[in-house]
Amino acid sequence: MKIPIALCLSLALWLLFTSLAGAEPAFGPPQPADPMPSRENCFIHQYQVNDPEPPLDVRSSPEIRPDNVIAALPNGHIGAILSEQNGWFKITWTTGAITREGWIVAKRTDYACNGFIDAISSFPYTINGRLIGAGSHQYAVDLQKGQTLVLRPNRQAASKHSLCWPSAITGPDITGHTPGIPDAYGKWWRKPGDTTSPEPDEWRWTATVNGRYILHYDSNFKGFVYGPCILTIEE
Protein backbone atom coordinates (compact mmCIF):
# COMPACT_ATOMS: atom_id res chain seq x y z
CA MET A 1 0.00 0.00 0.00
CA LYS A 2 1.33 3.46 -0.86
CA ILE A 3 1.19 6.13 1.81
CA PRO A 4 0.41 9.68 0.62
CA ILE A 5 2.27 12.43 2.51
CA ALA A 6 0.37 15.72 2.96
CA LEU A 7 1.81 18.83 1.39
CA CYS A 8 1.91 20.74 4.69
CA LEU A 9 2.56 19.06 8.01
CA SER A 10 1.89 21.84 10.52
CA LEU A 11 3.42 22.24 13.93
CA ALA A 12 -0.03 21.97 15.49
CA LEU A 13 -0.58 18.56 13.90
CA TRP A 14 2.85 17.41 15.08
CA LEU A 15 2.01 18.46 18.67
CA LEU A 16 -1.35 16.73 18.44
CA PHE A 17 0.21 13.44 17.36
CA THR A 18 2.77 13.74 20.15
CA SER A 19 0.14 14.33 22.83
CA LEU A 20 -2.08 11.51 21.61
CA ALA A 21 0.74 9.00 21.35
CA GLY A 22 1.60 9.05 25.05
CA ALA A 23 4.34 6.48 25.58
CA GLU A 24 4.20 5.53 21.90
CA PRO A 25 6.54 7.23 19.40
CA ALA A 26 5.34 10.22 17.40
CA PHE A 27 5.26 10.02 13.62
CA GLY A 28 7.27 12.83 12.11
CA PRO A 29 10.11 13.84 9.80
CA PRO A 30 12.71 11.11 9.23
CA GLN A 31 15.78 11.18 11.45
CA PRO A 32 18.55 11.27 10.44
CA ALA A 33 17.34 11.05 6.84
CA ASP A 34 17.00 14.15 4.69
CA PRO A 35 13.84 16.24 5.29
CA MET A 36 10.72 14.84 3.69
CA PRO A 37 9.93 16.59 0.40
CA SER A 38 6.74 18.68 0.61
CA ARG A 39 4.77 17.15 -2.24
CA GLU A 40 1.12 16.26 -2.63
CA ASN A 41 2.01 13.33 -4.87
CA CYS A 42 4.69 11.83 -2.60
CA PHE A 43 4.30 8.12 -1.94
CA ILE A 44 6.22 6.18 0.71
CA HIS A 45 6.31 2.40 0.62
CA GLN A 46 9.75 1.41 1.91
CA TYR A 47 11.90 2.00 4.99
CA GLN A 48 15.51 1.44 6.03
CA VAL A 49 16.29 0.55 9.64
CA ASN A 50 18.40 3.19 11.38
CA ASP A 51 18.08 2.47 15.10
CA PRO A 52 20.46 4.18 17.57
CA GLU A 53 20.07 1.07 19.75
CA PRO A 54 19.99 -1.81 17.25
CA PRO A 55 18.54 -4.21 16.47
CA LEU A 56 15.06 -2.81 15.89
CA ASP A 57 12.29 -4.79 17.57
CA VAL A 58 9.39 -5.96 15.42
CA ARG A 59 6.16 -6.27 17.40
CA SER A 60 2.89 -8.08 16.84
CA SER A 61 0.90 -4.92 17.59
CA PRO A 62 1.64 -1.14 17.46
CA GLU A 63 2.49 -0.78 21.14
CA ILE A 64 5.42 -1.36 23.44
CA ARG A 65 4.82 -4.40 25.64
CA PRO A 66 7.29 -6.95 27.03
CA ASP A 67 5.40 -9.86 25.41
CA ASN A 68 4.82 -8.69 21.81
CA VAL A 69 8.34 -8.73 20.28
CA ILE A 70 8.31 -11.22 17.41
CA ALA A 71 11.59 -10.43 15.59
CA ALA A 72 14.51 -7.99 15.37
CA LEU A 73 15.94 -6.24 12.31
CA PRO A 74 19.54 -4.98 11.90
CA ASN A 75 20.47 -1.47 10.83
CA GLY A 76 20.49 -1.13 7.06
CA HIS A 77 17.64 -3.58 6.54
CA ILE A 78 15.24 -2.38 3.81
CA GLY A 79 11.63 -3.51 3.72
CA ALA A 80 8.10 -2.69 2.62
CA ILE A 81 5.61 -0.51 4.49
CA LEU A 82 1.97 -1.62 4.46
CA SER A 83 0.52 1.23 6.51
CA GLU A 84 1.25 3.84 9.20
CA GLN A 85 -0.53 4.26 12.53
CA ASN A 86 0.34 6.84 15.21
CA GLY A 87 4.08 6.66 14.72
CA TRP A 88 4.28 2.98 13.82
CA PHE A 89 4.86 1.28 10.47
CA LYS A 90 3.12 -1.98 9.67
CA ILE A 91 5.72 -3.84 7.61
CA THR A 92 6.51 -7.09 5.86
CA TRP A 93 9.83 -8.91 5.88
CA THR A 94 11.01 -12.31 4.75
CA THR A 95 12.59 -14.98 6.93
CA GLY A 96 13.82 -17.76 4.71
CA ALA A 97 10.93 -18.38 2.35
CA ILE A 98 8.30 -17.10 4.80
CA THR A 99 6.88 -13.57 4.54
CA ARG A 100 5.82 -12.15 7.88
CA GLU A 101 4.07 -9.00 9.08
CA GLY A 102 4.64 -6.85 12.14
CA TRP A 103 5.01 -3.33 13.54
CA ILE A 104 8.09 -1.14 14.03
CA VAL A 105 8.71 2.33 15.43
CA ALA A 106 8.73 4.68 12.41
CA LYS A 107 11.19 7.20 13.85
CA ARG A 108 13.83 4.47 14.19
CA THR A 109 13.94 4.16 10.41
CA ASP A 110 14.86 6.34 7.44
CA TYR A 111 12.16 6.90 4.83
CA ALA A 112 11.49 9.28 1.97
CA CYS A 113 9.29 9.60 -1.11
CA ASN A 114 9.65 6.42 -3.16
CA GLY A 115 7.71 7.87 -6.05
CA PHE A 116 6.62 11.24 -7.41
CA ILE A 117 6.57 13.31 -10.58
CA ASP A 118 7.15 17.07 -10.36
CA ALA A 119 6.13 19.36 -13.21
CA ILE A 120 8.76 22.12 -13.28
CA SER A 121 7.64 25.55 -14.49
CA SER A 122 9.99 27.99 -12.71
CA PHE A 123 13.70 28.19 -13.53
CA PRO A 124 16.44 27.85 -12.50
CA TYR A 125 15.31 24.80 -10.56
CA THR A 126 17.45 22.77 -8.15
CA ILE A 127 17.09 19.00 -8.41
CA ASN A 128 18.03 17.40 -5.12
CA GLY A 129 16.70 14.28 -3.40
CA ARG A 130 17.05 10.88 -1.84
CA LEU A 131 15.62 7.47 -2.67
CA ILE A 132 15.41 4.85 0.08
CA GLY A 133 14.80 1.41 -1.37
CA ALA A 134 13.24 1.03 -4.81
CA GLY A 135 11.43 3.89 -6.45
CA SER A 136 11.39 6.63 -9.06
CA HIS A 137 11.66 10.42 -8.81
CA GLN A 138 10.68 12.19 -12.01
CA TYR A 139 11.06 15.84 -13.03
CA ALA A 140 8.99 16.96 -16.02
CA VAL A 141 9.69 20.00 -18.20
CA ASP A 142 7.58 21.24 -21.12
CA LEU A 143 9.73 22.60 -23.96
CA GLN A 144 8.90 24.47 -27.12
CA LYS A 145 10.74 23.69 -30.34
CA GLY A 146 14.12 25.46 -30.26
CA GLN A 147 14.37 25.75 -26.47
CA THR A 148 17.39 24.12 -24.83
CA LEU A 149 17.23 22.17 -21.59
CA VAL A 150 20.44 22.48 -19.56
CA LEU A 151 21.43 20.39 -16.52
CA ARG A 152 24.48 21.45 -14.52
CA PRO A 153 25.66 19.44 -11.47
CA ASN A 154 26.62 21.62 -8.51
CA ARG A 155 29.53 19.45 -7.41
CA GLN A 156 30.77 21.89 -4.80
CA ALA A 157 27.52 21.47 -2.87
CA ALA A 158 27.12 17.74 -3.54
CA SER A 159 28.03 15.14 -0.94
CA LYS A 160 30.84 12.69 -1.67
CA HIS A 161 28.53 9.84 -2.71
CA SER A 162 25.79 11.91 -4.37
CA LEU A 163 24.84 11.12 -7.98
CA CYS A 164 24.40 13.93 -10.47
CA TRP A 165 23.18 12.53 -13.76
CA PRO A 166 19.67 11.05 -14.16
CA SER A 167 19.07 7.34 -14.71
CA ALA A 168 17.28 8.26 -17.93
CA ILE A 169 15.87 11.23 -19.84
CA THR A 170 12.82 10.78 -22.05
CA GLY A 171 11.22 13.12 -24.56
CA PRO A 172 9.37 13.20 -27.89
CA ASP A 173 12.64 13.33 -29.85
CA ILE A 174 14.71 11.09 -27.56
CA THR A 175 14.72 7.34 -28.13
CA GLY A 176 15.85 4.73 -25.63
CA HIS A 177 19.39 4.63 -27.02
CA THR A 178 20.00 8.17 -28.23
CA PRO A 179 23.76 8.91 -28.01
CA GLY A 180 24.75 11.55 -25.48
CA ILE A 181 21.74 11.05 -23.18
CA PRO A 182 22.45 10.40 -19.48
CA ASP A 183 21.55 6.88 -18.39
CA ALA A 184 22.20 4.37 -15.63
CA TYR A 185 24.74 2.33 -17.58
CA GLY A 186 27.96 4.27 -17.37
CA LYS A 187 29.79 7.23 -18.87
CA TRP A 188 27.13 8.50 -21.28
CA TRP A 189 29.41 11.27 -22.61
CA ARG A 190 31.84 8.77 -24.18
CA LYS A 191 31.34 7.14 -27.56
CA PRO A 192 32.22 3.45 -28.07
CA GLY A 193 35.97 2.98 -27.79
CA ASP A 194 36.51 6.31 -25.98
CA THR A 195 38.17 5.78 -22.59
CA THR A 196 39.65 9.21 -21.93
CA SER A 197 37.04 11.96 -22.46
CA PRO A 198 36.48 13.75 -19.11
CA GLU A 199 33.07 14.10 -17.51
CA PRO A 200 31.36 17.26 -18.78
CA ASP A 201 30.19 20.14 -16.62
CA GLU A 202 26.72 20.15 -18.15
CA TRP A 203 24.24 18.29 -20.34
CA ARG A 204 22.08 20.14 -22.86
CA TRP A 205 19.37 19.21 -25.33
CA THR A 206 17.67 21.45 -27.87
CA ALA A 207 14.10 20.39 -28.58
CA THR A 208 13.27 19.71 -32.22
CA VAL A 209 9.54 19.49 -31.43
CA ASN A 210 7.19 20.74 -28.75
CA GLY A 211 6.73 18.28 -25.90
CA ARG A 212 7.36 17.08 -22.38
CA TYR A 213 10.81 15.92 -21.26
CA ILE A 214 11.23 13.89 -18.08
CA LEU A 215 14.39 13.39 -16.02
CA HIS A 216 14.24 10.06 -14.20
CA TYR A 217 16.13 9.16 -11.03
CA ASP A 218 15.34 5.46 -10.55
CA SER A 219 16.39 2.93 -7.92
CA ASN A 220 15.92 -0.82 -8.25
CA PHE A 221 16.79 -1.73 -4.67
CA LYS A 222 18.87 0.18 -2.11
CA GLY A 223 18.36 3.78 -3.21
CA PHE A 224 20.78 6.70 -3.36
CA VAL A 225 21.24 10.44 -2.82
CA TYR A 226 21.30 12.69 -5.89
CA GLY A 227 22.04 16.32 -6.65
CA PRO A 228 22.11 19.14 -6.29
CA CYS A 229 21.83 19.83 -10.00
CA ILE A 230 20.67 23.10 -11.55
CA LEU A 231 18.06 22.82 -14.29
CA THR A 232 17.58 25.77 -16.67
CA ILE A 233 16.02 26.56 -20.05
CA GLU A 234 17.73 28.65 -22.71
CA GLU A 235 15.75 30.28 -25.49
* pLDDT, tens only, 121-155: 999 999 999 999 999 999 999 999 999 999 999 98
Domain boundaries 3-110, corresponding CATH code: 2.30.30.40
Task: Please report the pLDDT score of residue 26 as a whole number.
Answer: 37
The pTM for the full model equals 0.74
Domain ranges of the chain: 3-110, 115-234
Mean pLDDT calculated for residue range 181-204: 89
Task: Please report the pLDDT score of residue 38 as a whole number.
Answer: 52
Task: Please report the pLDDT score of residue 212 as a whole number.
Answer: 97
Overall fold of domain 115-234: Jelly Rolls (2.60.120)
Q: What is the 3-state secondary structure (H, E, C) of the chain?
A: CCEECCCCCCHHHHHHHHHHHCCCCCCCCCCCCCCCCCCCCCEECEEEECCCCCCEEEECCCCCCCCCEEEEECCCCEEEEEEEECCEEEEEEEECCEEEEEEEEHHHEECCCCEEEEEECCCCEEEEEEEECCEEEEEEEEECCCCEEEEEECCCCCCCCCECCCCEEEECCECCCCCCCCCCCCCCCCCCCCCCCCCCCCEEEECCCCEEEEEEEEECCCEEEEEEEEEEEEC
Mean pLDDT calculated for residue range 197-212: 95
Task: Please report the pLDDT score of residue 175 as a whole number.
Answer: 79
Instruction: Look over the chain and give the mean of its residue pLDDT values, rounded to a whole number.
Output: 82
Mean pLDDT calculated for residue range 98-112: 93
Q: What percent of the chain has pLDDT over 90?
A: 56
